[in-house]
């Protein structure tokens, strides 16, 4: 997975060739710098002079025309592990693409095929992923390990396969690209002996207020929206901006440095709006497999998770749908149940997109530039090339005190599948950064203060008064 800041270094499988870990896209970095985003990695490796023969593709962003399964996605062909692989669908015309993060002079590619190889294919390079130049062509491939030397340069390198050797698709253990790039000096990456089972922290908030406002969809237009239930910052209304959230910091969230606003369609029982009566569990998790690549949200980021126009099928198969509607013994219901065991509560869990385009802070800004959504869901555990920055994945778990006869329970937004929620980031940057680094990047299961009750030796982020503790070092030492 591609990090936007310096990750722990690593080496090629031969133990000799230095590995260049690609940085994030230049545009994304420029946007981050302009926004004064404070984000970092656990270890900042020092980059030495550029050197030829550098492995450029290890951990880079990848894409492919198809993948046979989620555990056979394209990123597994750049992870340096021959026990993993990319496998396409069983068709002749397939492609595999690598984004090196910047343009480089290129020297060769090495294709380490599994049994399903291509007999005919080309290798192409590009600086914009639009115009491609063919630098190598094979018409009688025999599989195995193929090294193709050429002269060229580019940011993107792709394999275009046109003829299969078997009845299966194409399958690569590794696709390695070598050229002239930054060498990452060796360092001592953090080492923890703890088993990593989670990479998250909580930011729990209670009910604040109802309003028919939506400062993301209908900014500056009070009463233009269906009724929303707001948690977090108490000042949220149609005129809310990130700046106003910092100016009015009274919040229902556990951590006082979280001035963010969260809201969702109001749940009705008949004509009565139902207030959630317990803290809402707001998980901040890694949405990508490489949890050490996750960075804090940029200041002022705003997005909507979910689709008001979803059908039963699109809601059931949505990337963010976790368990649907639940109560008592009912789970994975894509409609609000007609009956819940008395005394139970109706709840829903839904995950937000966690890949940012690195440029736009609002849906409107992206739309005005004709760039499409500024947030996207990961694909097979990796952020897509169009949205390279992995940010925390918010997973909202909300419960309402309704049970028994539920036939008159409904959402203010319309159908049961119209569930969605909105978020405006207004965390104090240093606190969010420390929580992301310690809990998400550190592979912990943290409470709102950044402590993992099962691994207290690893330390925390905030003390009992929610003041920042000194930096926690690998292993829990300070």
Residues recorded for the chain: 478
Higher pLDDT, 50 or 104: 104
Q: What is the mean pLDDT of residues 306-328?
A: 92
Rounded mean pLDDT of the chain?
86
pLDDT band, very low/low/confident/very high, at 115 (cuts 50, 70, 90): very high
3-state secondary structure string, 298-322?
CCCCEEEEECCCCCHHHHHCCCCEE
The pTM of the full predicted model, rounded to 2 decimals, is 0.77
d(CA 411, CA 309): 13
d(CA 221, CA 176): 53
Here the tokens at position 225 are 């929206």
Q: What is the mean pLDDT of residues 198-224?
A: 96
The DSSP line for 360-422 is -SSHHHHHHTT---SEE--BTTB--TTS-EE--EEEEEEEES--EE-TTEEETTBSGGG-EEE
Q: What is the mean pLDDT of residues 57-66?
A: 89
d(CA 27, CA 87): 31
Nearest to 234 by CA among 263, 270, 268, 191: 263
Look at residue 324 and give its three-state secondary structure: strand
Residues 384-415 have pLDDT tens digits of 999 999 999 999 999 999 999 999 999 999 99
Q: Does residue 314 carry a pLDDT above 50?
A: yes
Q: Tell me, what's the pLDDT at 183?
A: 53
Q: Does residue 353 carry a pLDDT above 90?
A: yes
Q: Tell me, what's the pLDDT at 226?
A: 97
Q: Which residue has the tokens 């207030």?
A: 275
Alpha carbon of 30 to those of 36, 384, 410: distances in Å?
Answer: 10, 19, 44
Here the tokens at position 316 are 């059931």
pLDDT band, very low/low/confident/very high, at 192 (cuts 50, 70, 90): low
């Amino acid at each position: 997975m591609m990090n936007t800041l310096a990750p722990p270094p690593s080496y090629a499988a031969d133990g000799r060739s230095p590995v260049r870990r690609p940085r994030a896209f230049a545009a994304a970095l420029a946007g981050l710098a302009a926004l004064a985003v404070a984000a970092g990695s656990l270890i900042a490796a020092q980059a030495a002079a550029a050197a030829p023969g550098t492995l450029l593709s290890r951990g880079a962003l990848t894409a492919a025309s198809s993948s046979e399964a989620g555990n056979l996605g394209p990123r597994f062909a750049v992870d340096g592990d021959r026990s993993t692989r990319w496998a396409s669908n069983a068709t002749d015309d397939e492609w595999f693409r690598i984004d090196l993060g910047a343009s480089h002079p290129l020297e060769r590619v090495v294709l380490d095929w599994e049994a399903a190889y291509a007999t005919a294919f080309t290798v192409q390079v590009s600086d914009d992923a639009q115009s491609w130049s063919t630098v190598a062509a094979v018409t009688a491939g025999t599989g195995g390990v193929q090294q193709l030397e050429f002269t060229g340069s580019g940011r993107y390198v792709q394999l275009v396969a046109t003829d299969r050797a078997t009845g299966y698709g194409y399958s690569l253990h590794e696709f390695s690209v070598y050229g002239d790039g930054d060498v990452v000096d060796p360092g001592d990456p953090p080492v923890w002996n703890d088993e990593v089972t989670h990479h998250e922290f909580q930011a729990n908030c209670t009910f604040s207020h109802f309003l028919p406002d939506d400062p993301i969809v209908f900014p500056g237009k009070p009463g233009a929206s269906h009724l929303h239930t707001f948690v977090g910052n108490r000042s949220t209304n149609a005129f809310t901006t990130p700046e106003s959230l910092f100016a009015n910091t009274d919040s229902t969230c556990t951590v006082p440095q979280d001035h963010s606003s969260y809201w969702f369609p109001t749940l009705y029982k008949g004509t009565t709006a139902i207030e959630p009566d317990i803290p809402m569990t707001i998980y901040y998790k890694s949405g990508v497999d490489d949890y050490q690549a996750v960075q804090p949200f940029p200041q002022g980021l705003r997005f909507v998770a979910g689709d008001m126009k979803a059908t039963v099928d699109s809601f059931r198969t949505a990337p963010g749908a976790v368990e649907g509607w639940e109560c008592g013994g009912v789970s994975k219901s894509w409609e609000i149940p007609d009956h819940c065991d008395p005394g139970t509560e109706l709840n829903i869990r839904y995950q937000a997109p966690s890949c940012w385009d690195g440029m736009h802070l609002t849906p409107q800004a992206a739309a005005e530039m004709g760039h499409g959504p500024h947030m996207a869901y990961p694909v097979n555990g990796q952020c897509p090339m169009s949205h390279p920055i992995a940010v925390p994945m918010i997973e909202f778990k909300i419960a309402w005190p309704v049970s028994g006869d539920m036939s008159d329970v409904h959402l203010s937004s319309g159908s049961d599948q119209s569930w969605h929620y909105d978020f405006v980031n207004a965390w104090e940057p240093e606190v969010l950064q420390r929580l992301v680094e310690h809990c998400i990047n550190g592979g912990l299961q943290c409470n709102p203060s950044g402590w993992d009750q099962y691994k207290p030796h690893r330390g925390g982020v905030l003390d009992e008064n929610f003041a920042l503790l000194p930096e926690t070092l690998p292993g829990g030492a300070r």
